[in-house]
């Protein structure tokens, strides 16, 4: 039976309940205005608008790991574009464009165009920043744009723009609270659907992979800058649309709601909702908006005075909640809820994985051709020479073992071979092309795949999805296709390939398990499956057998033997000498960064220099 035909738990998936929650949300949105008071409807409108901004932050911060305090500025761009366009008279615009004056759709489009341009420039500058520089950068632009809104004369300074006419779309005027409610929440639901679709797709996996570290993601072929930009622009677009809705709901805009403080509030909403939870955006927005309302009503009663006390109390609450968050309270709550949700199949209705189009494969280079060659590779870290003039080659259908004591420089060598790091001097040639200094995703494209000594998996993602990330370069559907779910055929092929590789390494039954829940030895094997999913011709394995039990080692040796028979070239670092000597065709021994011996396993075992390095030898 083909592995693809296995009826598999792989098709169960944790996020599936979220999809059903969308279906449940639709009648709620349709019916709620009938039972809510006017005041409550207005409050719900504000919550919906805030939820849309927060949803962008869930994607950006919760999923992608990028912190932004500047989202309110994008809301401002959307709101001011809407306000300006809506209050234009035909005579205000040049001939030919006068048709657009007063058009809310034109306001929306204008807002999106400006938002994308501004976010594109800001993203290009700030997304390459690491650590604290990114949030600081977002604060800087948040402040600049806020002051810009107050400075531009046409925007009415700090008094703002009033007299925005009621929203009129396709001949229907939406001027009642309940109509706006349905529009706003309709947009929120669409945004939730689009976000869920994105997360459950190839470009979405790339964004989620950012959490696993840039090195891992790039080694899987992910263009991390592009993945960051995708999340950043999506979040900016959500914020801009929220601004458009805001302008047409309030019928008045002034700079205050787009200040840095608002940006911090949005971040707080994302935190409360449990960053990373799509519906958490709604929960967080509702909590914060209602809490602020409530504090505004309550505090003057308690304190007997009017003032901005709610801001002070709110600030203190933030501190308390942050403390709770860091102890993982929200995370545990979310987990508890998740554990109770039923798992539902994500396979497209009626889809049969056996009928899925298999991904095309690259032909293996003919056995015996040199795949990889290192020429005088040297890597210095300050005064330390971690690799000292290493030269060797590997051919298709060959297993080369690199052995040596801890700290000998083996992992450093692997990093250079896979272009995670570049040699200080020397050359590396992979498939007749010099690769040292290239980005690692470039060599991944050419068929080099690796695993890491310190496992780099996405622990909360399923084993299947982790492996599918390895097949990233074998798909091409982008963000638009993903959001509109036009990527299902390709996605099915990618998941089927991931499933095939999982089965191949013997982890088929764990497809739906979270990667972090597997034993460490299994996680190493999972990394091999992920590497294999890229259809490589060269595999670099850094201590793949560490932590494996005897039977698991046997299975691994058998798998590597099969891969070699298929013509794959394998370089592996391993400390288990029985494993190495039985499996490897040739062995390279390094000590203190230098190559002290190279040859057949039998030669190495009796080499005096090697025995010396191992203080008494390998026996």
Residues that bind ligand ADP (CB under 6 A): 381, 384, 386, 404, 406-412
Q: Does 411 bind Mg ion (CB under 5 A)?
A: yes
Is residue 571 within 8 A of residue 602, CB to CB? The reply is: no
Q: Which does 386 bind (CB under 5 to 8 A by kind): ligand ADP, Mg ion, none?
A: ligand ADP
Q: Does 378 bind Mg ion (CB under 5 A)?
A: no
The CB-of-596 to ligand ADP minimum distance in angstroms stands at 13
Between 163 and 383, name the residue whose CB sits nearer to ligand ADP. Answer: 383
Between 112 and 390, name the residue whose CB sits nearer to ligand ADP. Answer: 390
Q: Which does 408 bind (CB under 5 to 8 A by kind): Mg ion, ligand ADP, none?
A: ligand ADP
Q: Long-range contacts of range 288-296, CB-CB < 8 Å, 24 or more positions apart?
A: 288/50, 289/43, 289/46, 289/47, 289/50, 290/43, 290/47, 291/317, 293/43
Span near Mg ion by CB under 5 A; candidates 70-78, 175-183, 445-453, 516-524 = 445-453
- Dist. CA 128–CA 329, nearest whole Å: 32
Q: Does 453 bind Mg ion (CB under 5 A)?
A: yes
The CB-of-438 to ligand ADP minimum distance in angstroms stands at 19
The CB-of-228 to ligand ADP minimum distance in angstroms stands at 23
**Token pair of 81, please?**
């574009």
Q: Which does 544 bind (CB under 5 to 8 A by kind): Mg ion, ligand ADP, none?
A: none
- Dist. CA 270–CA 260, nearest whole Å: 15
Q: Which does 165 bind (CB under 5 to 8 A by kind): Mg ion, ligand ADP, none?
A: none
Is residue 534 within 8 A of residue 474, CB to CB? The reply is: yes
The 3 state secondary structure assigned to 358-373 is CCCCCCCCCCCCEEEE
**Token pair of 75, please?**
């809301």
The CB-of-243 to ligand ADP minimum distance in angstroms stands at 44
Q: Which does 381 bind (CB under 5 to 8 A by kind): Mg ion, ligand ADP, none?
A: ligand ADP
Residue nearest to Mg ion (CB): 411
The CB-of-590 to ligand ADP minimum distance in angstroms stands at 7
Residue whose C-alpha is closest to residue 55's, from 213, 245, 210: 245
Backbone conformation region of residue 607, classed left if phi is above 0, alpha if psi is from -120 to 50, else beta: beta
The CB-of-385 to ligand ADP minimum distance in angstroms stands at 9
Question: Which phi and psi angles does 304 have, rounded to 5°?
Answer: 70, 15
One DSSP character per residue, 519-542 reads -HHHHHHHHHHHHHTT--SEEEEE
Q: Does 67 bind Mg ion (CB under 5 A)?
A: no
Question: Which phi and psi angles does 434 have, rounded to 5°?
Answer: -75, 125
The CB-of-386 to ligand ADP minimum distance in angstroms stands at 4
Question: E strands, 129-213, where?
Answer: 161-162, 167-169, 172-174
Q: Does 240 bind Mg ion (CB under 5 A)?
A: no
Q: How many chain residues are in contact with Mg ion, going by CB under 5 A?
A: 3
Between 242 and 403, name the residue whose CB sits nearer to Mg ion. Answer: 403
Site residues (vs Mg ion, CB under 5 A) = 410-411, 453
């Amino acid at each position: 039976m083909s592995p693809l035909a296995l009826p598999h738990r792989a098709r169960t998936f944790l996020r599936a309940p979220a999809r059903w929650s969308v279906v449940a949300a639709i009648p709620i949105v349709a019916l709620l205005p009938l039972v809510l008071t006017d005041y409550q409807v207005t409050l719900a409108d504000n919550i919906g608008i805030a939820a849309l901004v927060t949803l962008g932050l869930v994607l950006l911060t919760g999923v992608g790991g990028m912190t932004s305090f500047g989202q309110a500025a994008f809301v401002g761009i959307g709101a001011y574009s809407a306000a300006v366009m809506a209050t234009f008279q035909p005579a205000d615009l040049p001939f030919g464009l006068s048709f657009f004056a007063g058009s809310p759709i034109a306001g929306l489009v204008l807002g999106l165009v400006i938002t994308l341009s501004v976010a594109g420039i800001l993203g290009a500058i700030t997304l390459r920043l690491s650590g604290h520089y990114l949030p600081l950068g977002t604060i800087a632009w948040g402040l600049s744009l806020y002051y810009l809104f107050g400075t531009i004369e046409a925007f009415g300074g700090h008094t703002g723009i009033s007299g925005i006419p009621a929203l009129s779309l396709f001949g229907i005027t939406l001027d009642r609270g309940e109509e706006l409610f349905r529009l706003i929440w309709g947009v929120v639901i669409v945004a939730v659907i689009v976000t869920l679709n994105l997360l459950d797709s190839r470009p979405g996996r790339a964004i989620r992979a950012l959490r696993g570290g840039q090195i891992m993601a790039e080694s899987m072929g992910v263009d991390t800058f592009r993945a960051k930009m995708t999340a950043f622009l999506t979040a900016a677009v959500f914020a801009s649309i929220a601004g458009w809705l805001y302008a047409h709901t309030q019928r008045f805009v002034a700079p205050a709601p787009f200040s840095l403080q608002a940006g911090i509030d949005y971040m707080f909403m994302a935190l409360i909702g449990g960053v990373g939870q799509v519906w958490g955006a709604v929960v967080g927005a509702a909590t914060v908006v209602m809490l602020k309302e409530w504090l505004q009503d309550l505090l003057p009663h308690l304190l007997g005075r009017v003032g901005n006390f709610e801001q002070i109390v709110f600030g203190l609450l933030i501190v308390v909640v942050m403390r709770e968050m860091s102890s993982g309270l929200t995370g545990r709550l979310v987990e508890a809820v998740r554990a109770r949700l039923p798992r539902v199949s994500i396979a497209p209705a009626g889809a049969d994985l056996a009928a899925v189009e298999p991904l095309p494969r690259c032909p293996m280079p003919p056995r015996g051709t040199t795949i990889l060659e290192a020429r005088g590779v040297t890597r210095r870290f300050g005064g330390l020479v971690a690799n000292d003039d290493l030269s060797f080659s590997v051919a298709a259908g060959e297993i080369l073992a690199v052995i040596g004591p801890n700290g000998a420089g083996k992992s450093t060598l692997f990093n250079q071979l896979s272009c995670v790091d570049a040699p200080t001097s020397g050359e590396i040639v992979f498939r007749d092309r010099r690769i040292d200094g290239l980005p690692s995703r470039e060599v991944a494209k050419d068929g080099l795949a690796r695993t890491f000594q310190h496992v780099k998996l996405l622990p909360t993602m399923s084993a299947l999805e982790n492996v599918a990330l390895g097949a990233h370069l074998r798909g091409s559907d982008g963000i638009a296709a993903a959001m509109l779910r036009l990527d299902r055929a390709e996605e099915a092929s990618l998941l089927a390939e991931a499933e095939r590789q999982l089965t191949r390494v013997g982890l088929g039954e764990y497809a739906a398990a979270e990667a972090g829940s597997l034993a460490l030895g299994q996680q190493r094997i999972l990394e091999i499956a992920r590497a294999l999913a890229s259809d490589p011709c060269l595999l670099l394995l850094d201590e793949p057998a560490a932590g494996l039990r005897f039977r698991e080692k046997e299975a691994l040796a058998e798998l590597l033997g099969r891969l070699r028979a298929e013509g794959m070239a394998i370089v592996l670092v391993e400390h288990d000498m029985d494993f190495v000597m039985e499996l490897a065709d040739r062995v390279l021994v390094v000590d203190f960064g230098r190559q002290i011996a190279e040859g057949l396993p039998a030669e190495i075992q009796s080499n005096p220099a090697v025995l010396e390095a191992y203080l008494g030898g390998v026996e």
